[in-house]
Structure 1
Amino acid sequence: MLFLIIVLGVLLIVVATSKFKIHPFLSLLLGTLFVAFATGMSFDLIIESINGGFGNLMTSIGLVIVFGTIIGVILEKAGAAYRMAEVVLRVIGPNHPQLAMSIIGFIVSIPVFCDSGFIILNSLRKALAKRAKIAMASMSVALATGLYATHTLVPPTPGPIAAAGNIGANAYLGTVILIGLVVAIPATLVGYLWSVKVVTKIEVPEDVTANGEEFDYDKVVASFGKMPSTFLAFLPIVLPIVLIALGSVISVLGWEGWFAELFIFLGKPVMALLLGVIAALPLLPKYDEETLTGWVGKGLADAAPILLITGVGGAFGTVIRNSGVEEIIQGWDIAGIFTGVLFLLVPFLIAAALKTAQGSSTTSLVITSSLIAPMLPIMGIEGAVPLALVVMAIGAGAMTVSHVNDSYFWVVTQFTGMQVNDAYKAQTMATLLQGLATIIVTMVLWLLLV
């Protein structure tokens, strides 16, 4: 009954948004309240869950979203995004813009949370799509799935690191990283193929200009006059990524001292993105009210609906989490049914159920790894490669699937302008295929290596 209520809550959000054209913020709020009351939560717990879910998400990514949108506006209005688009297409080739986005996402999300990575790279995504005349939704899914693959599979992202630690694979972190990179390649490829073969048919408002005319890339570039240098164009994006990566590596290696503390501090996403904003200031053609107030103000205005929708998505996930669904999943006893390579299906199914129910990939990785850790010695699973493949199986489940209770789903859809029903076809189906491909590849590697 609890799972049925959650499914009905999701359907309520989808129908309210797509059929009755209710704003996603209100649709999510309705779905949240429906699940809360239908599961019999107390009034105090409902209020605590909604406030806590919204507030906790804003604590972690609220300012990141704001700083990211400000950087995006400056990059776009100063012509830097278009400079980056030309450089990337020159390196990858003009015939494969989605592949370029997938590769960039794959690399960036190794040290950076996928939410932050998508926000950082959003302006580049838009410029590349316009330069190559490719559907915005297709470019978005190519980027989102590239980010998603390494986010759930490759340390030093917190989820895979926590999973490795919980199952006793701390000493084999290098093996986890290496196998994670290998397994993440087909996961990224699946997302790329889905973006090319299916998502190109989805149209969003960004595909045309405000008056309905086709976007003229060359005309827009000519309007900037002198374009920014390649170094200044990439700096607001590269600097935060490098700082976050340095902070993650220093934390993993356990370095201590003033130098380490400084770069761990600068590597926090909020500080790294703030420095990204500062790095974007040299791109301003002039320092006056138009740029320092107008351009920054547009960034704040663009961030507002994304903040609200993402925050209430966090509230929805917290309500589901507090409804008791995690306790039910933790009570499942399915390890005895699966042995050998089939055991990998146990962490996959648990992680997928947790991910689908409560929305957070990191939470799914942490809880699932804690649940299966006692099973591993009993099943005789030990050593670098077997434990690394167990982490991959958990990560595969933590991909499956991203939908309305996942903050990443709303970051992708709101920055792209996709309708919810289109986002289910584009983003949710892509993450389902990524998860299935990942568990299949993991099981094949088990047969070959274990």
Structure 2
Amino acid sequence: MGLVLILVALIAFIVLATSRLKLHPFLALLAAALLAGFAYQVPTMEIVKTITGGFGGILGYIGIVIVLGTIIGVILERSGAAITMAETVIKLLGERFPTLTMSIIGYLVSIPVFCDSGYVILNSLKNALAARMKISVIAMSVALATGLYASHTFVPPTPGPIAAAGNLGLENNLGLVILVGLVVSLVTAFAGMWWANRFIGKDIPLEDNGAHVMDAEDYAQIRAKYGVLPSATKAFAPIFLPIGLICLGTLVNLPAKPVGEGFVYTLLAFLGQPVVALAVGLALACTLLRSDNKRQEFHDRVVEGIQAAAPILLITGAGGAFGAMLKVTPLGDYLGATLSALGIGLFMPFVVSAALKSAQGSTTVALVTTSALVAPLLPELGLDSEMGRVLCVMAIGAGAMTVSHANDSFFWVVTQFSRMSVGTAYRAQTLGTLMQGIAGIITVWLLSLVLL
């Protein structure tokens, strides 16, 4: 029992350090790893060695993937490709189903672009469409926000799911994570849209927070700021070609070897490695550079991407250190006997992730910390197969979106840009993410009945 109490105390320390004391998650996770070493009586000379080994081990492979994915996202954001993606969806779906259109736009844009940035970029488009179609701004805001949130939480190359997959030993099988993540995230996006539809016919007053009410003219000005927008092909290719290559790499490596083991296998297996696939995506993204000095522009975008990726890399590495420390303790054996008797399986990582998310606000921190915590327990949870690990990533992702409220920066981005009162935001956005989390874990559980 003492082993579990130590674990509970460590989780409480991480939550309090990041939420109340405002300690950066990187330092909080490193401190938790150090405290775990002493509390579980790991040999003193092994503590630092375990921490540094865990830190470097997770970043040795996943770190490059995170950086490349972030740089691609920055280029897409700065080039206006996100606007092109949004307008392409509108052309395909028309304006008959406004919340569905907004949800799908958010779902697609947030695969390469952080959900916070995606919301800011698309806010004026959302408001312009709401005014043109005479639809509640609240409904459109929730549809956009939950659509962005869905793929942000489940689908690589978004950094959070990549880090969780790496912690659970799936760094060489991201294609399977992507395929399952696309399914689970689509269900959660529709759950968010369903919640958004509750506000379509409601006349909820917006806050006068001093923000300018954007309309169609403002959207036209923002669109014009980018100059000539890239074509749909150029906008979608840097993200969807790498995803396709990664998925192909996973398929050709199946035990049945569907393409044999000749040249085609070697080529697809090489291109399907996430680092190589994202390098191809980055090369395609370079076609979106439009300044007269493309070398300088590319340099600037790479610098922006590295700066954006740095905190995620540090948190991911510290999460790996924390997980490595837990692996060398007797905690796994003890919890194995307890958890296997309870038979809670996928619900354990979901509950831990949801508790961390609700307490400290960051989806990425919840994904990284929970995956590091759960990794040593996979055999005891009955999730030690390849598909078991993938579904564990999905369960953690479902928890990591439950719920977005006042300690989450995304909550305030949605609230302020949509001019919702805090009370309205809790009813619309926070409860919407709760519906998404519940829909996510139910979907993962149903998949486990078929796939495990």
With the length of structure 1 as denominator, give the TM-score of the two structures. Answer: 0.64
Quick one: percent identity of the two aligned structures?
Answer: 31
Q: Which residue, out of 240, 243, 252, partners 1:241?
A: 243
State the Cα distance separating 1:436 from its structure 2 match: 4.9
Question: 1:47 — aligned with what?
Answer: 48
Q: Which residue, out of 259, 278, 283, partners 2:283?
A: 278
Tell whether 2:298 aligns with 1:292.
yes
Aligned pairs for 1:85-234 within 5 A:
85-91=86-92, 93-96=97-100, 99-100=103-104, 118-119=111-112, 127-128=121-122, 131-132=125-126, 134=141, 138-145=146-153, 147=155, 189=190, 217-234=219-236
State the Cα distance separating 1:145 from its structure 2 match: 4.9
Distance 1:138 1:82 in 2: 18
Distance 1:158 1:305 in 2: 17
Question: 1:81 — aligned with what?
Answer: 82
State the Cα distance separating 1:371 from its structure 2 match: 7.9
Q: Deviations over 1:139-160 (max 9, x none)?
A: 4432245549xxxxxxxx9999
Question: 1:376 — aligned with what?
Answer: none
State the Cα distance separating 1:235 from its structure 2 match: 0.9
Contact 2:153 2:397 in 1 (8 A): no
Mark the runs of 5 or more structure 1 residues left unpaired by the alignment.
106-116, 149-156, 163-177, 199-210, 338-344, 374-390
Q: In structure 2, what residue type is equivalent to 1:437?
A: I
Distance 2:88 2:300 in 1: 28
Question: 2:262 — aligned with what?
Answer: 257
Distance 1:91 1:193 in 2: 21
With the length of structure 2 as denominator, give the TM-score of the two structures. Answer: 0.63
Contact 1:70 1:277 in 2 (8 A): yes
Question: 2:359 — aligned with what?
Answer: none
| Cα 1:26/1:364, change in 2 over 3 Å | closer
Aligned pairs for 1:300-449 within 5 A:
300-332=306-338, 345=343, 347-348=345-346, 359=371, 363=375, 367-368=379-380, 399-401=394-396, 433-434=438-439, 436-438=441-443, 441=446
Q: In structure 1, what residue type is equivalent to 2:44?
A: F
Q: Deviations over 1:59-101 (max 9, x none)?
A: 2321111111111111111111211122234445542356326
Q: Deviations over 1:409-430 (max 9, x none)?
A: 9xxx9996989xx9xx899967
Distance 1:3 1:351 in 2: 15
Distance 2:350 2:150 in 1: 22
Distance 2:433 2:329 in 1: 23
State the Cα distance separating 1:330 from its structure 2 match: 2.8
Contact 2:84 2:229 in 1 (8 A): yes
Comparing 301-310 with 89-98, greater Cα deviation is found at 89-98
Contact 2:55 2:321 in 1 (8 A): yes
SS in 2 for 1:239: helix
Q: Deviations over 1:7-47 (max 9, x none)?
A: 22222222222212222222222222222222222223322
SS in 1 for 2:50: helix
Comparing 139-148 with 178-187, greater Cα deviation is found at 178-187
Distance 1:319 1:213 in 2: 50
Q: In structure 2, what residue type is equivalent to 1:3?
A: V
| Cα 1:434/1:43, change in 2 over 3 Å | farther
SS in 1 for 2:290: coil
| Cα 1:259/1:442, change in 2 over 3 Å | closer
| Cα 1:137/1:9, change in 2 over 3 Å | farther
SS in 1 for 2:21: coil
SS in 2 for 1:47: helix
Aligned residues: 365
| Cα 1:142/1:187, change in 2 over 3 Å | closer
Distance 1:52 1:285 in 2: 42
Q: Report the RMSD for the aligned CA atoms in angstroms.
A: 4.9
State the Cα distance separating 1:321 from its structure 2 match: 2.7
| Cα 1:350/1:26, change in 2 over 3 Å | closer
Aligned pairs for 1:14-33 within 5 A:
14-33=15-34
Contact 1:236 1:277 in 2 (8 A): yes
| Cα 1:438/1:366, change in 2 over 3 Å | same
Distance 1:89 1:361 in 2: 42
Distance 1:310 1:144 in 2: 16
